[in-house]
Amino acid sequence: MNVDLIEQLKELEERHLNLEVRRSSEELDQILADDFWEIGSSGYKIDKQECLVGGVVLSDMTLHQYKIQPLASDVVLATYFVEDKTRKRNTLRSSIWKFIDERWQLYFHQGTITEQQVDDLC
């Protein structure tokens, strides 16, 4: 596994969770692919335009157990656990990153609420 790729995508994922970045539609526009979509923890499908216009959840979140699995030379699945300190809940997350226009962009994202706690992680 390419350690540099893991670190690069983890850094992008952490930027995507960063409160300052999440407040900026310009920053989000750079991270999200044009055809980005997600299935939120609410169960609703959301696209890039909805994220940029309506905004995204502003929570203090920390990422744990970040792992990637290459699906193709330019597509990677990332899985991880997020502790949401603001909403006092945790989620298991997955993201699909695509290498588009010479940079990694977030193509798909999903969050599923879990009862697991950080201390439960192996």
pLDDT digits (tens, 9 = 90+) for 40-98: 878 889 999 988 887 777 778 889 999 999 999 999 999 999 998 888 889 999 999 99
Q: Which residue has the higher pLDDT, 2 or 20?
A: 20
The 3-class secondary structure across the chain, one letter per residue, is: CCHHHHHHHHHHHHHHHCHHHHCCHHHHHHHEEEEEEEECCCCCEEEHHHHHHHCCCCCCEEEEEEEEEEEECCEEEEEEEEEECCCCEEEEEEEEEEEECCEEEEEEEEEEEECCCHHHCC
Computed over every residue of the chain, the mean pLDDT equals 90
Predicted confidence at residue 22, as pLDDT, reads 83
Reported as a pLDDT band with limits 50, 70 and 90, residue 1 is: low
Domains, the chain, in order of start with CATH, read 3-120 (3.10.450.50)
pLDDT at residue 24 in the model: 87
